[in-house]
Protein backbone atom coordinates (compact mmCIF):
# COMPACT_ATOMS: atom_id res chain seq x y z
CA UNK A 1 0.00 0.00 0.00
CA UNK A 2 2.87 2.34 0.78
CA UNK A 3 4.42 1.81 -2.65
CA UNK A 4 1.07 2.48 -4.33
CA UNK A 5 0.72 5.70 -2.36
CA UNK A 6 4.25 6.83 -3.17
CA UNK A 7 3.95 6.12 -6.89
CA UNK A 8 0.53 7.65 -7.39
CA UNK A 9 1.44 11.35 -7.44
CA UNK A 10 3.13 13.57 -10.02
CA UNK A 11 6.30 14.14 -7.97
CA UNK A 12 7.10 10.44 -7.87
CA UNK A 13 6.35 10.15 -11.59
CA UNK A 14 9.04 12.75 -12.25
CA UNK A 15 11.41 11.13 -9.74
CA UNK A 16 11.08 7.57 -11.07
CA UNK A 17 10.80 8.63 -14.71
CA UNK A 18 9.44 6.02 -17.08
CA UNK A 19 9.76 3.21 -14.53
CA UNK A 20 7.06 4.55 -12.20
CA UNK A 21 4.32 2.62 -14.01
CA UNK A 22 6.27 -0.66 -13.74
CA UNK A 23 6.84 -0.05 -10.02
CA UNK A 24 3.16 0.67 -9.49
CA UNK A 25 2.08 -2.46 -11.38
CA UNK A 26 4.51 -4.50 -9.31
CA UNK A 27 2.98 -3.06 -6.16
CA UNK A 28 -0.50 -4.12 -7.26
CA UNK A 29 0.83 -7.64 -7.88
CA UNK A 30 2.48 -7.70 -4.44
CA UNK A 31 -0.75 -6.52 -2.79
CA UNK A 32 -2.77 -9.23 -4.56
CA UNK A 33 -0.10 -11.79 -3.67
CA UNK A 34 -0.22 -10.75 0.00
CA UNK A 35 -4.01 -10.93 0.21
CA UNK A 36 -4.08 -14.35 -1.47
CA UNK A 37 -1.33 -15.57 0.83
CA UNK A 38 -3.18 -14.41 3.94
CA UNK A 39 -6.47 -16.03 2.88
CA UNK A 40 -4.99 -19.39 1.90
CA UNK A 41 -2.64 -19.65 4.88
CA UNK A 42 -5.47 -18.72 7.26
CA UNK A 43 -7.50 -21.64 5.91
CA UNK A 44 -4.44 -23.94 6.13
CA UNK A 45 -4.23 -24.40 2.37
CA UNK A 46 -0.46 -24.06 2.23
CA UNK A 47 0.04 -26.47 -0.65
CA UNK A 48 -2.63 -24.79 -2.75
CA UNK A 49 -0.94 -21.45 -2.20
CA UNK A 50 2.49 -22.74 -3.17
CA UNK A 51 1.00 -24.53 -6.18
CA UNK A 52 -0.63 -21.31 -7.37
CA UNK A 53 2.63 -19.41 -6.92
CA UNK A 54 4.47 -22.05 -8.95
CA UNK A 55 1.90 -21.91 -11.75
CA UNK A 56 1.99 -18.10 -11.89
CA UNK A 57 5.79 -17.95 -11.91
CA UNK A 58 6.06 -20.72 -14.51
CA UNK A 59 3.55 -18.92 -16.72
CA UNK A 60 5.48 -15.69 -16.35
CA UNK A 61 8.75 -17.38 -17.37
CA UNK A 62 7.10 -18.95 -20.42
CA UNK A 63 5.54 -15.60 -21.35
CA UNK A 64 8.90 -13.81 -21.04
CA UNK A 65 10.63 -16.44 -23.20
CA UNK A 66 7.93 -16.13 -25.87
CA UNK A 67 7.99 -12.32 -25.74
CA UNK A 68 11.76 -12.13 -26.18
CA UNK A 69 11.73 -14.76 -28.94
CA UNK A 70 9.13 -12.88 -31.02
CA UNK A 71 10.70 -9.45 -30.50
Domain span including residue 49:
2-70
Provide the domain count of the chain: 1
pTM: 0.45
Output the CA torsion 43→48→54→59 (10° steps): -110
Produce one character per residue of 4-36: b if its CB has 16 or more CB atoms within 10 Å, e if not.
eebbeeeeeeeeeeeebeeebeebeeeeeeeee
Query: Per residue in 11-63, pLDDT tens?
Result: 666 777 777 777 777 777 777 878 877 887 777 777 777 888 888 888 877 77
Q: Can you tell me the distance from the alpha carbon of 35 to that of 40, in angstroms, rounded to the nearest whole number? A: 9
What is the reported pLDDT for 10?
66
Whether 7 shows a pLDDT value over 70: the answer reads no
**Is a pLDDT exceeding 60 seen at residue 1?**
no
Amino acid sequence: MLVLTLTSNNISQKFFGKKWKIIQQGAYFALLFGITHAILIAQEWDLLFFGLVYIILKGFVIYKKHATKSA
